[in-house]
Homo-oligomer: A and B are copies of this chain.
Amino acid sequence: MAKDKKLVEAITSMDTDFAQWYTDVVKKAELIDYSSVKGCMVIKPAGYAIWENIQKELDRRFKETGVENVYMPMFIPESLLQKEKDHVEGFAPEVAWVTHGGLNPLQERMCVRPTSETLFCDFYANDIQSYRDLPKCYNQWCSVVRWEKETRPFLRSREFLWQEGHTAHATAEEAEERTIQMLNLYADFCEEVLAMPVIRGKKTDKEKFAGAEATYTIEALMHDGKALQSGTSHNFGDGFAKAFGIQYTDRDNKLQYVHQTSWGMTTRLIGAIIMVHGDDSGLVLPPRVAPLQVMVIPIQQHKEGVLERAEELKAMLAKAGIRVRLDDSEKSPGWKFSEQEMRGIPIRVELGPKDIEAGKCVLVRRDTREKIECTLDKVTETVEELLDNIQHAMYTRAKAHLESHISDVKSYAEFQDAVENKPGFIRAMWCGSEECEIKIKEDTTATSRCMPMKEEEAVADVCVCCGKPAHKLVYWGKAY
Chain A residues at the B interface, C-beta cutoff of 8 Å: 1-3, 33, 35-37, 40-45, 48-49, 51-52, 68-77, 80, 93-103, 110, 112, 119, 122-123, 126-127, 129-130, 132-133, 138, 142-143, 145, 147, 158-159, 161
Contact = CB atoms under 8 A, between A and B. Distances in A.
B72 A123 contact: no
A17 to B, nearest CB: 25
Nearest to A146: B102
Assembly stoichiometry (copies): 2
A402 to B, nearest CB: 30
Contacts of A119: 35-37, 42
Contacts of A77: 36-37
A-B residue pairs, 10 tightest by C-beta: A40-B73, A45-B68, A101-B147, A97-B100, A43-B71, A102-B147, A37-B73, A99-B99, A96-B98, A37-B75
8 contacts: A3-B133, A42-B119, A45-B138, A48-B70, A48-B71, A93-B103, A98-B98, A102-B147
A45 B33 contact: no
Nearest to A329: B132
Contacts of A37: 73, 75-77, 110, 119
Contact of A159 (B3, B74, B122): B74
A145 B74 contact: yes
A468 to B, nearest CB: 38
Contacts of A126: 33
Given A37-B77, A43-B70, 9 more contacts: A3-B132, A36-B119, A37-B76, A40-B73, A42-B73, A42-B123, A74-B145, A97-B99, A102-B147
Contacts of A42: 70-73, 119, 123
Given A41-B73, A129-B3, A122 B48 contact: no
Contact of A96 (B49, B68, B95, B101): B101
Nearest to A46: B68
A74 B143 contact: yes
Given A69-B49, A133-B3, A99 B102 contact: no
